[in-house]
């Protein structure tokens, strides 16, 4: 009993409390964002939205998340990581619940934009909180654990949606999104500010754009942009690819079956996040990242072409390859919370980390459009293979950044 008590005490240390708070925040963040995708058809039917209008809501959410991530990075440098994390969770949870009051396209756009601001902001605040709370030898694993919350939130959103939507409708589903606000009570009472951050520290935001630090910012932003273009180009169209007709280059699955296939891919993504941290802490940030994105560059064309190559058995082959695509096609995101924190000094770490990642996210909003435009000409499966180029580009760009394994934050 005594040994068990000491074991549990380890998980109540400040670094573990910070990690759990950030991971749960990201998990619930993903849940709130994905509620819209699961409720999309019901919302379109009630408001009479076209596909373009429905896609506009998603685009606005993504753009707002980029601005929220950059702005919250700055805020975390000014008022602290813990307080910034609390505020972003409140924003996305209250906005998610308020989405239930939408009466049409414009009110829906407003509330989902606020959800997006909270989405981007939560990552910026949570990732820097975890990075500064954990020692160098375990920082990669800690960030990977936080990042894995996205896959868990995706699966949780699917489970809740299947229970709530048929029985109570989409408005009730969005009301469930208010619950993450309760997490702020835990953060306020239990989470400590990292010792590295000090109040009223001089913050010169322009430093991240000047000199050697400016070069790091530019290259890190390029790496983030490349992989986010690859990610959203692939995963933004994945449900449509699986459920699309064979004539359009899709796999021809039913909606139910395509949802099951996506879930198996998310299970692979969850494992990919966790293993990235183990590999990055052992081999280094750059070798782990290259391993993942090169594997993604290889698997993406194979996955997109399976319906063309093996039309009779494509669905089961897609099920077989799906977890590997999820593993390598998403796990590399764990790099950004660790390596970006190690590239920037404490005074501008939140802003630098938030800018590099979220400016890339803003630029990546065009990826679903270009894949869709290409699909009109060559079919969706062939269009998806083009994302391999972005993964290859990221593998090249990462070489221009220093290896930061075992770096102590300053």
Q: Please write down the HEC assignment for all residues of 363-383.
A: HHHHHHHHHHHHHHHHCHHHH
- Residue 171's pLDDT is what? 96
Query: Rounded to two decimals, what is the model's pTM?
Result: 0.86
- Residue 2's pLDDT is what? 42
With CA atoms as reference, report the closest residue to 198 among 374, 114, 79: 79
Q: Residue 304 corresponds to which tokens in the numbers above?
A: 């997109």
**pLDDT tens-digit series, residues 359-377:** 988 888 777 667 767 777 7
**pLDDT tens-digit series, residues 229-282:** 888 878 776 766 676 666 655 666 665 666 677 788 889 999 999 999 999 999
- Provide the CA 306 distance to its chain's centre, in angstroms: 27
**Ramachandran bin of 249, using left for φ above 0, alpha for ψ from -120 to 50, beta for the remaining angles:** left
With CA atoms as reference, report the closest residue to 183 among 375, 23, 369: 23
Residue 178 and residue 96 in contact, taking contact as beta carbons nearer than 8 Å: yes
Distances (CA, A) of 358 to 9, 66, 86, 124, 176: 36, 5, 19, 9, 27
According to CATH, where is 1.20.1250.20 located in the chain?
A: 12-190, 205-403
Per-residue pLDDT at 133 exceeds 90: yes
- Please enumerate in sequence order all residues whose Cβ is within 8 A of that of 358, keeping only pairs 6 or more positions apart, or say none: 65, 66, 67, 68, 69, 70, 73, 120, 124
**pLDDT tens-digit series, residues 175-228:** 999 988 888 888 888 899 998 887 655 657 788 999 989 999 999 999 999 999
Query: What is 12-190's CATH number, 3.40.50.300, 3.40.50.620, 1.20.1250.20, 1.20.1440.230?
Result: 1.20.1250.20
CATH topology of domain 205-403: Growth Hormone; Chain: A; (1.20.1250)
Q: Residue 322 corresponds to which tokens in the numbers above?
A: 């799906």
Q: Residue 390 corresponds to which tokens in the numbers above?
A: 């972005």
The model's confidence at residue 53, banded by pLDDT at 50, 70 and 90, is confident
With CA atoms as reference, report the closest residue to 158 among 67, 260, 236: 260
Q: At what angle do helices 14-47 and 81-98 cross, to 10 degrees?
A: 20
């Amino acid at each position: 009993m005594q040994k068990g008590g000491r074991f549990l005490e380890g998980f109540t240390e400040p670094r573990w409390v910070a990690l759990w708070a950030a991971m749960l925040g990201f998990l619930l963040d993903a849940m709130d964002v994905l509620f819209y995708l699961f409720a999309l058809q019901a919302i379109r039917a009630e408001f009479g939205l076209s596909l373009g209008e429905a896609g506009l809501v998603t685009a606005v959410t993504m753009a707002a998340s980029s601005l929220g991530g950059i702005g919250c990075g700055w805020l975390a440098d000014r008022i602290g990581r813990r307080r910034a994390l609390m505020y972003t969770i409140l924003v996305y949870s209250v906005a998610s619940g308020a989405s239930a009051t939408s009466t049409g396209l414009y009110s829906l756009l407003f509330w989902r934009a606020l959800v997006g601001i909270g989405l981007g902001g939560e990552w910026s605040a949570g990732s820097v909180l975890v990075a500064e709370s954990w020692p160098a030898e375990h920082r990669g694993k800690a960030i990977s654990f936080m990042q894995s919350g996205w896959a868990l939130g995706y699966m949780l959103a699917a489970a809740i949606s299947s229970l709530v939507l048929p029985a109570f409708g989409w408005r009730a589903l969005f009301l469930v999104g208010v619950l993450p606000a309760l997490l702020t009570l835990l953060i306020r009472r239990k989470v400590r500010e990292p010792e590295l951050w000090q109040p009223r520290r001089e913050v010169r935001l322009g430093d991240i754009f000047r000199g050697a630090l400016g070069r790091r910012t530019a290259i890190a932003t390029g790496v983030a942009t490349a992989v986010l273009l690859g990610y959203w180009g692939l995963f933004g169209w994945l449900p449509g690819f699986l459920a699309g007709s064979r004539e359009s280059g899709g796999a021809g699955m039913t909606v139910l079956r395509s949802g099951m296939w996506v879930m198996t891919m998310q299970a692979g993504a969850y494992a990919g996040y966790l293993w990235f941290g183990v590999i990055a802490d052992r081999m280094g940030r750059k070798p782990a990242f290259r391993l993942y994105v090169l594997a993604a560059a290889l698997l993406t064309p194979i996955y997109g072409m399976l319906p063309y190559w093996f039309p009779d058995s494509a669905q089961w082959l897609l099920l077989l390859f799906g977890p590997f695509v999820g593993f390598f096609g998403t796990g590399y995101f764990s790099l950004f919370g660790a390596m970006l924190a190690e590239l920037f000094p404490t005074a501008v770490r939140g802003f630098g980390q938030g800018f590099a990642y979220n400016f890339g996210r803003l630029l990546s909003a065009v990826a679903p459009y270009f894949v869709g435009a290409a699909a009109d000409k060559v079919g969706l499966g062939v269009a998806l293979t083009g994302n391999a180029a972005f993964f290859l580009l990221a593998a090249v760009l990462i070489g221009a950044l220093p290896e930061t394994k075992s770096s102590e934050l300053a």
